[in-house]
Chain A
């Protein structure tokens, strides 16, 4: 048999993810107050972003929250120049940023960088560079309610 057949198929399953009390509180603060709040472990003091309802390290539930700073430091980044199916249109830059007062870094887009030259963009986004949080005017209570911008583009 020279010509083997293929059969086209799809995987269209829709999900409804429960956000839970921790995520709900976080997203409400984003939307309503334009604030980033983070849970703080009662045992080791870890202030964690993205927020979690328990400390993975100490395995205790958390109910204390703190507000973190509106600026932070890039810990890792990349620039994506190619298109992947169902993923954002290129080019885009994303970075893990340690916000002042947080114990862990959180990912988001960095939007004020010229991405036309990859190498130049990568230099500007270097680890250690300072960024600030910029809130969208119309917020919907999702992680897209804010993004990062370099302090000195």
Chain B
């Protein structure tokens, strides 16, 4: 029997470009209800709720005020983090590990269609030294992508291959936002948005909500059925000042992965992990993540792509769901990664199931150039 937190169920809305038919509350209620249904639980049985959301994108200055109720928090112990959906799982898991709670609902959402993402993102910059330069999330990501490509001499074919791989994966995922595969030629011909990024190198902007139910080790022990365990997790932050960072690397991801692997007793990630759902905000970010997650040495991510290791059929499929390049409900993206990893380990991923997956990894990231990173290992 395990002393780990268990995951009992997940709920996801369909991810779309603009969910105009749903008020934000409706979307959140749908996700929370679906998670409860999958876990065969009643809201009454839940004793704690963790919300992960971004006020500025929700267009409500304390967005949990309106959204705590659709997230199931009426008269419950509720708390909110802001960084990324995946941070909700960190906080919920720690709460369950204290022994004060038994069943926790974690909910995250984002309706990028209701907010001008670029305007909100440029407000992330400090008003004194950065904001005037006109940088947003895409230009910041481009700085990182460019630094990485330059450092390791990556030809643009490699990130293009990442796009083709993830878009092909996404075509099998009924829940994905972009479900049409693309060719190398289409990636190459798509317009430049910010050097070296082309339009197809970048994640779309999507709407979606998701929820997940966690059980304390104590509660999990009482379960009759086998449950998916949260075997390990870790998180860390990098500097805000891009000038102080070596943008071709992601130290916070290395730290986060190290902690998660330590907790889950993983020594050889490539050999042990059956599927990974990571935050490929751009195709270059997926390559960077391979290195941060220890899938390969520095500058060697291109080999994993060339050899097809991270393809669906490879030894370590990455983003079988299509990842962010197919669906990017911004703040909620990290929690979607964990939900997808859960589906893989639980054998419930449908057409995009990786056969026999028993260990999956999920990565959430937040901030400019993936300033904050969180890593999760899920096992059967």
* Binding between chains A and B: yes
Partner of A18, one of B19, B36, B72: B19
Partner of B25, one of A11, A12, A20, A57: A20
Instruction: Report whether B128 and A61 are in contact in the complex, using a CB–CB cutoff of 8 Å.
Output: no
Residues of A near B24 (CB, < 8 A) are 17-18
In the bound complex, CA of A106 to CA of B341 (Å): 43
Partner of B123, one of A13, A20, A23: A13
Residues of A near B111 (CB, < 8 A) are 18
Instruction: Report whether B114 and A17 are in contact in the complex, using a CB–CB cutoff of 8 Å.
Output: yes
Partner of A15, one of B43, B59, B70, B74: B59
Q: Among residues 57 to 92 in chain B, which have CB atoms less than 8 Å away from a CB atom of chain A?
A: 59, 69-70, 72, 74
Asked if A21 is at the interface of the complex by the 8 Å CB criterion, the answer is yes
We find that the number of chain B residues with CB closer than 8 angstroms to chain A is: 30
Instruction: Report whether B25 and A52 are in contact in the complex, using a CB–CB cutoff of 8 Å.
Output: yes
For A56, give the chain B residue with the smallest CB separation: B69
Asked if A53 is at the interface of the complex by the 8 Å CB criterion, the answer is yes
In the bound complex, CA of A56 to CA of B19 (Å): 22
In the bound complex, CA of A20 to CA of B29 (Å): 13
Contact with A along B1-30 (1 / 0, CB 8 A): 000000000000000000111111110010
Asked if A54 is at the interface of the complex by the 8 Å CB criterion, the answer is yes
Asked if A104 is at the interface of the complex by the 8 Å CB criterion, the answer is no
Asked if B175 is at the interface of the complex by the 8 Å CB criterion, the answer is no
Instruction: Report whether B59 and A17 are in contact in the complex, using a CB–CB cutoff of 8 Å.
Output: yes
Contact with A along B26-50 (1 / 0, CB 8 A): 1001001100100000010000000
Residues of B near A7 (CB, < 8 A) are 127-128
Residues of A near B23 (CB, < 8 A) are 17-20, 22-23, 53
Asked if B94 is at the interface of the complex by the 8 Å CB criterion, the answer is no
Q: Among residues 1 to 50 in chain A, which have CB atoms less than 8 Å away from a CB atom of chain B?
A: 7, 9, 11-23
For A9, give the chain B residue with the smallest CB separation: B127
Asked if A59 is at the interface of the complex by the 8 Å CB criterion, the answer is yes
Residues of B near A11 (CB, < 8 A) are 123
The main secondary structure of chain A at its interface with chain B is loop
Residues of B near A17 (CB, < 8 A) are 23-24, 59, 114
Residues of A near B74 (CB, < 8 A) are 56-57, 59
Residues of A near B29 (CB, < 8 A) are 53-54, 61
Instruction: Report whether B26 and A20 are in contact in the complex, using a CB–CB cutoff of 8 Å.
Output: yes
For B72, give the chain A residue with the smallest CB separation: A59
Residues of B near A54 (CB, < 8 A) are 25-26, 29, 33, 70
Asked if B56 is at the interface of the complex by the 8 Å CB criterion, the answer is yes
Residues of B near A56 (CB, < 8 A) are 69-70, 74
For B46, give the chain A residue with the smallest CB separation: A59
Q: Output the least CB separation between A110 and chain B (Å).
A: 25
Q: Output the least CB separation between A128 and chain B (Å).
A: 28
Residues of A near B20 (CB, < 8 A) are 18
In the bound complex, CA of A19 to CA of B24 (Å): 8
In the bound complex, CA of A95 to CA of B200 (Å): 52
In the bound complex, CA of A74 to CA of B354 (Å): 60
Known: A13-B56, A53-B23, A54-B70. A59 touches B43 (CB 8 A): yes
Q: Which residues of B contact A (CB under 8 A)?
A: 19-26, 29, 32-33, 36, 43, 56, 59, 69-70, 72, 74, 111, 113-116, 119-120, 123, 127-128, 131
Could you list 21 A-B pairs, sorted by A, with CB under 8 Å? Answer: A7-B128, A9-B127, A13-B56, A13-B59, A13-B116, A13-B119, A13-B120, A13-B123, A14-B116, A14-B119, A15-B59, A15-B115, A18-B21, A18-B22, A18-B113, A18-B114, A20-B22, A21-B26, A54-B26, A57-B74, A61-B29
10 smallest CB-CB distances across A and B, nearest first, come from A20-B23, A15-B59, A59-B43, A56-B69, A54-B29, A56-B74, A9-B127, A20-B26, A13-B119, A53-B26
